[in-house]
Amino acid sequence: VVGTAHSRRCITGQPDSAVCASTARLLPPSLRSFTMGLTDQTALHVPGEVELTVHPVVLFSIIDHYSRRDDLQDRVIGTLLGTVRGNRVEVCDCFPVPHTEMEQQVAMNTDFHATMLSLHQRVYPKHVVVGWYSTAEEVNGNSLLFHEFYGKDVERPVHLLLDLGLGVRRMSCKAYLSKELSLGDRKLGTVFHEAKVSMVNEEADRIGVDTLMKCSGSTVGGSGPLSEGESIELTVRKLMRTLEGVGDHVDKMLRKEVQPDAEMVELLQKAMAAAPRLPTTSFDKVFDAQVQDILAVVYLANLTRAQLALSEKLHAVATSSAAERPSR
């Protein structure tokens, strides 16, 4: 790492595409598919290897970073932050890192990386650097130079590769770990092998994603958040579709058109047991009482709003009258 102008650190070196290509030829055919991070899916994961869990906010941040990139940039990179517990790595946040890529030189702003890391750890002291991300279809020779930089502070840095697709392919997210390939004392190259990655699916994340999906179908003029009534209507419709789907599946199981699933039956039994058992008349009374309470709250809110508006007008009239009296 050498210093250059504008407080930028440059990582210089030639891409290892030739070395990686020769490395791929030395590997068995079953391992060649993910030597350089090809986008085709593979289910080969080493038991006991690092498992990565990613929060949805990380993917949204990467996409936002890509949308704000310079026109001449083909991809963006950044630092991944999270926690490490044994062989489980949880990516909770990230931040972009400015960089440039040329044919024979790769440069990144390491001062910016250090400053952002220091500021982030003031708020989240338990978050550490777990790796880095990039947006591309596959791992290339320049990726090895970035990976070596993060490997100086992280024992086993994770490379999160987000292929946006850009309307041509389906967006995919993969994680890679590196391993040196040597023959005796001679280093032949570095192999990137795919690691298991999964998304964190918490209640707050689901609510946020559902809201974004609901707003995505609106027009340009109505791209804001949905009103409370529209949100309730969409939620009820979704619930009705789910209940209809469950009812159709149960009917097929009773007609022996599909094989019964013990786990699904157990979940349905728990759901039915959790539902309150009320007679229809009692349920109607409880529902009507709730509706009346809501209407009363809405009425009081409107009445308060009207009183505030009237008070503001009276205050404005009184102020203008007081201002006119001395002039007379």
pLDDT digits (tens, 9 = 90+) for 247-279: 898 888 888 888 888 888 888 888 888 877 778
- On whether both 184 and 75 belong to a single domain, the answer is yes
DSSP string for residues in 7-51: TEEEEE----HHHHHHHHHHS-HHHHTTTTT-SS------TT--E
- Give 8-18 pLDDT, tens digit per residue: 344 444 444 43
Comparing CA positions, the residue from 105, 107, 159, 90 lying closest to residue 131 is: 159
- On whether both 134 and 75 belong to a single domain, the answer is yes
Please state the rounded mean pLDDT for residues 143-166: 87
Going by pLDDT thresholds of 50, 70 and 90, the confidence category of residue 29 is very low
- On whether both 253 and 186 belong to a single domain, the answer is no
Cα–Cα distance, 209 to 223 (Å, whole number): 15
- Tell me, yes or no, whether 113 lies in a domain: yes
Cα–Cα distance, 179 to 156 (Å, whole number): 9
- Tell me, yes or no, whether 13 lies in a domain: no
- Tell me, yes or no, whether 37 lies in a domain: no
- On whether both 149 and 71 belong to a single domain, the answer is yes
| Residue indicated by tokens 């708020």 | 123
Cα–Cα distance, 3 to 266 (Å, whole number): 63
Listed in sequence order, the DSSP H helices in the chain are 17-26, 29-32, 56-67, 110-123, 141-150, 203-216, 228-254, 262-274, 280-327
Q: What is the mean pLDDT of the chain?
A: 77
Q: What is the pTM of this model?
A: 0.57
The 3-state DSSP class for residue 254 equals: helix
Share of the chain above pLDDT 70, in %: 79
For the sheet with 2-4, list strands across it: 2-4, 8-12, 105-108, 99-101
Cα–Cα distance, 144 to 16 (Å, whole number): 8
Question: How many domains, the chain?
Answer: 2
Asked if residue 188 lies in contact with residue 22, where contact means CB atoms within 8 angstroms, the answer is yes
Going by pLDDT thresholds of 50, 70 and 90, the confidence category of residue 154 is confident
Cα–Cα distance, 237 to 214 (Å, whole number): 12
The confidence score (pLDDT) of residue 10 equals 42
Q: Identity (one letter) of the amino acid at 233?
A: E
- Tell me, yes or no, whether 303 lies in a domain: no
- Give 163-202 pLDDT, tens digit per residue: 887 767 778 888 888 888 878 778 777 888 888 888 887 7
- Tell me, yes or no, whether 101 lies in a domain: yes
The 3-state DSSP class for residue 192 equals: strand
* Pairing outcome for strands 51-54 and 128-135: unpaired
- Tell me, yes or no, whether 58 lies in a domain: yes
- On whether both 187 and 92 belong to a single domain, the answer is yes
- On whether both 187 and 245 belong to a single domain, the answer is no
Torsion of CA 55, 58, 63, 66, to 10 degrees: -160
CATH code of the domain containing 140 = 3.40.140.10
- On whether both 77 and 139 belong to a single domain, the answer is yes
Domain that holds residue 248: 236-278
- Tell me, yes or no, whether 304 lies in a domain: no
Cα–Cα distance, 285 to 292 (Å, whole number): 10
- Give 106-133 pLDDT, tens digit per residue: 888 999 999 999 999 999 999 999 999 9
- Give 211-227 pLDDT, tens digit per residue: 776 666 554 444 556 66
Which residues fall within 8 angstroms of residue 81, CB to CB, at 6 or more apart?
91, 92, 93, 94, 95, 117, 120, 124, 127, 128, 129, 130
The 3-state DSSP class for residue 153 equals: coil
- Tell me, yes or no, whether 76 lies in a domain: yes
Residue 201 per-residue DSSP state: -
Cα–Cα distance, 198 to 219 (Å, whole number): 32
